[in-house]
């Protein structure tokens, strides 16, 4: 049985007072309980875009029907064989601000054999007992009797079907209270966030009038490890490529040609070593240019309650790289990461040869000041400065005879980083609402390390924020993905509070 990291569990336990279900018998409590059966039913629908377009259509059909039953208007937006879903609260007033909530219905691919249950699409309720996860009767959840620390395990339990269900439950609570929202509510549910062609930009442009909004809130990503209400102002971007160094045109016997024919694996290792210093800082000229933190950003870094000793213990490292002064500052710099290496064979298949080539898979994370195109250009210049001639594809015979060092870069595209200013009105609105709902100061994170598809939403010309509602240790993208029940209840409370908070309610500086 796989265990979730103890520092995560300890942090959640210490802050359980911030993540309890609402008081019994309130409309929010009742609406949340009423949504649990449908949450489980929703999770039983496989949702891997690359595996089956029919399964994604089934998810879209289910979502469209559910939103209509909960009182929203809903329709599918054409996107080839995998439609997206648009929903809106039927009363749209020109006197209120309009907020577009984004989430995604699709999930990451699964390897069922790695899951500690019958199927990733057969939800299982579990509790931690004596250091191990123990199964509980699912009726305990469905009857609203779960402990806040119980977890529901299934693919997309947290990423990202829970927030979709929270949107339904929060509106049901408003209806039960006989109240309407203080904002115009629109919702877009993506079918390609986790896989398949990135079609969001095209769907948004084709439906620009329908999706027009004053702000966009993305219900994606994990909360801070403290489990306090969390507001995120942006995210890193990314760029990736494969770097290949070429040797002789074929593999060679290492006895006959060792010390004579250059070994591309050795050359690649030496080349990669030039990219960072011993402290982990990237040495490519200009790589960090433009990254400057103002006083407000520095204060935000300091306000995030990170326990870096606990982070190091969870990771199993003695000390971090010295790129930033803190974890938060470090992820606000661009990064250069060796994600994989390949050169001939190791283990039982090892042979006494000199490989013909060696390849490294490189991933870079970008920040708003360092667009991916610029970093790729800087990397190319750096490689050439180490004496390499870059080729497209396989080197020609003429190139092999002319240049002693040959390499290629394949790929290089990636999504751009985004950051909404820390003083933006939408951020103040979300922060004020969360503080009112939970009577606690939210954690404000300037930039999260992961990426989300904000580029597809930029044509709406509206500020974009992230509102994570799921526990940090949810195992997203991995086996045994889970959602903490207390976080599910709190997510409904958070959205219910936002629905009732007029956008104009912005605290003065």
The DSSP annotation for 109-120 comes to: ---GGGSSSS-T
Looking at the fold, whether 365 and 467 belong to one and the same domain comes out as: no
34 is written with which tokens? 């009423």
172 is written with which tokens? 């049901």
Looking at the fold, whether 231 and 245 belong to one and the same domain comes out as: no
Give me the number of domains the chain comprises.
Answer: 2
pLDDT category of residue 73 using cuts at 50, 70 and 90: very high
CA distance 226 to 61: 36
Range of the domain at 346: 237-291+333-411
pLDDT average, residue stretch 330-347: 96
69-74 CB contacts, 8 Å cutoff, 24+ apart = 70/168, 70/171, 70/172, 71/171, 71/172, 71/175, 72/171, 72/187
Looking at the fold, whether 467 and 395 belong to one and the same domain comes out as: no
pLDDT category of residue 1 using cuts at 50, 70 and 90: very low
Which of 359, 382, 411 is the last residue before a domain boundary? 411
3-state secondary structure of 63: helix
Looking at the fold, whether 160 and 170 belong to one and the same domain comes out as: yes
Residue 458 belongs to domain with CATH number: 3.40.630.10
Q: How confident is the model over 95-137, as pLDDT tens digits?
A: 999 999 999 999 999 999 999 999 999 999 999 999 999 999 9
CA distance 477 to 106: 11
* 80: CB partners within 8 A, 6+ apart: 53, 199
**Parallel, antiparallel or unpaired: strands 151-153 and 124-129:** antiparallel
Residue 338 belongs to domain with CATH number: 3.30.70.360
Residue 315 lies in a domain: no
Looking at the fold, whether 444 and 407 belong to one and the same domain comes out as: no
Inter-CA distances, 184 with 87, 91, 506, Å: 11, 7, 17
CA distance 18 to 439: 9
Which of 370, 389, 411 is the last residue before a domain boundary? 411
Which of 366, 388, 411 is the last residue before a domain boundary? 411
pLDDT at 14 over 80: no
Instruction: Kindly report the pTM of this predicted structure.
Output: 0.89
pLDDT at 89 over 50: yes
Q: How confident is the model over 213-248, as pLDDT tens digits?
A: 999 999 999 999 999 999 999 999 999 999 999 999
Instruction: Sheet with 124-129: list strands edge to edge.
Output: 132-136, 124-129, 151-153, 482-484
CA distance 488 to 28: 12
Looking at the fold, whether 341 and 474 belong to one and the same domain comes out as: no
* 33: CB partners within 8 A, 6+ apart: 144
Looking at the fold, whether 244 and 390 belong to one and the same domain comes out as: yes
Residue 296 lies in a domain: no
CA distance 28 to 36: 13
Residue 320 lies in a domain: no
CA distance 143 to 209: 42
358 is written with which tokens? 């060696």
Residue 299 lies in a domain: no
- pLDDT given at position 83: 97
503 is written with which tokens? 């956008």
Looking at the fold, whether 262 and 403 belong to one and the same domain comes out as: yes
């Amino acid at each position: 049985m796989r265990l979730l990291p103890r520092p995560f569990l300890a942090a959640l336990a210490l802050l359980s007072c911030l993540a309890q279900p609402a008081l019994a018998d309130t409309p929010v409590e009742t609406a949340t309980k009423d949504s649990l059966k449908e949450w489980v039913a929703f999770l039983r629908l496989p949702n891997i875009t690359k595996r089956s377009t029919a399964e994604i259509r089934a998810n879209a059909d289910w979502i469209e029907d559910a939103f209509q039953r909960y009182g929203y208007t809903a329709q599918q937006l054409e996107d080839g064989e995998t439609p997206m879903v648009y929903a809106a609260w039927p009363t749209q007033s020109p006197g209120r601000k309009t907020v577009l909530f984004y989430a995604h219905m699709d999930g990451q691919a699964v390897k069922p054999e790695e899951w500690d249950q019958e199927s990733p699409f057969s939800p299982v309720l579990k509790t931690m007992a004596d250091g191990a996860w123990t199964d509980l009767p699912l009726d305990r959840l469905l009857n609203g009797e779960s402990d806040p620390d119980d977890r529901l395990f299934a693919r997309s339990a947290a990423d990202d079907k829970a927030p979709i269900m929270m949107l339904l439950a929060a509106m049901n609570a408003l209806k039960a209270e006989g109240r309407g929202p203080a904002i115009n509510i629109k919702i877009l549910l993506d079918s390609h966030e986790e896989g398949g062609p990135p079609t969001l930009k095209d769907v948004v442009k084709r439906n620009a009038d329908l999706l027009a909004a004053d702000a966009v809130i993305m219900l994606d990503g994990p909360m801070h490890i403290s489990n306090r209400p969390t507001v995120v102002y942006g995210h890193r971007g990314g760029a990736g490529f494969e770097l290949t160094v070429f040797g002789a045109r074929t593999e060679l016997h290492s006895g006959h040609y060792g010390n004579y024919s250059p070994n591309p694996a050795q050359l690649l290792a030496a080349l990669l070593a030039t990219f960072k210093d011993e402290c982990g800082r990237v040495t490519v000229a200009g790589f960090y240019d433009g990254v400057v933190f103002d006083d407000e950003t520095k204060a935000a870094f300091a306000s995030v309650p990170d326990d870096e000793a606990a982070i190091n213990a969870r990771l199993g490292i003695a000390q971090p790289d010295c790129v930033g002064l803190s974890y938060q500052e470090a992820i606000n710099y661009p990064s250069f990461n060796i994600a994989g290496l390949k050169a001939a064979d190791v283990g039982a298949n090892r042979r006494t040869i000199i490989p013909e080539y060696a390849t490294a898979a490189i991933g870079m994370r970008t920040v708003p000041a360092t667009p991916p195109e610029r970093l790729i250009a800087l990397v190319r210049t750096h490689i050439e400065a180490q004496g390499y001639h870059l080729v497209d594809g396989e080197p020609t015979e003429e190139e092999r005879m002319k240049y002693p060092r040959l390499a290629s870069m394949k790929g290089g595209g990636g999504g751009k980083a985004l950051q909404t200013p820390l003083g933006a009105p939408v951020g103040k609105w979300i922060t004020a609402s969360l503080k009112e709902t939970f009577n606690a100061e939210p954690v404000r994170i300037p930039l999260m390390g992961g990426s989300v598809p904000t580029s597809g939403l930029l044509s709406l010309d509206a500020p974009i924020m992230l509102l994570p509602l799921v526990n940090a240790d949810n195992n997203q993208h991995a086996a045994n993905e889970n959602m903490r029940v207390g976080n599910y209840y709190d997510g409904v409370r958070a959205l219910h509070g936002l629905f009732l908070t007029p956008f104009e309610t912005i605290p003065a500086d």
